Amino acid sequence: MSKALRHTVNTVTDIQTAGRQELSLKDFHILFIIFSILLSIAFGFWAIQYSQENFNPGYYMAGIVSFIFAFVLGVYLYKFCKKLKNS
């Protein structure tokens, strides 16, 4: 690759990334956990509603397990953020 072409590619790359802030691995982890909590809660509500409409206790149990999972993820998120603050 010629020096001029390499300079052009680097300049375009710099322009494309200008003004963007990169997401750290820790921040991504926190966002992913929050998304997982919200998804688990939404699934729990859906499963319980579906079980009541179709008289299926399996979906009711899946909804309860989903709420428990969301709670456990919330505890994990709290401890993870506390650990980040202390380090």
Under 8 Å between Cβ of 36 and 73: yes
Give residue-wise pLDDT tens across range 20-73. Answer: 778 889 999 999 999 999 999 999 999 999 999 998 999 999 999 999 999 999
The CA distance from 60 to 32, in Å, is: 26
Question: At residue 24, what is the residue type?
Answer: S
| Domain spans, the chain | 21-86
Q: State pTM to two decimals.
A: 0.73
Torsion of Cα atoms, 10 then 14 then 15 then 20, to 10°: 160
Give residue-wise pLDDT tens across range 72-83. Answer: 999 999 999 999
Selection from 27, 42, 39 nearest residue 77 by Cα: 27
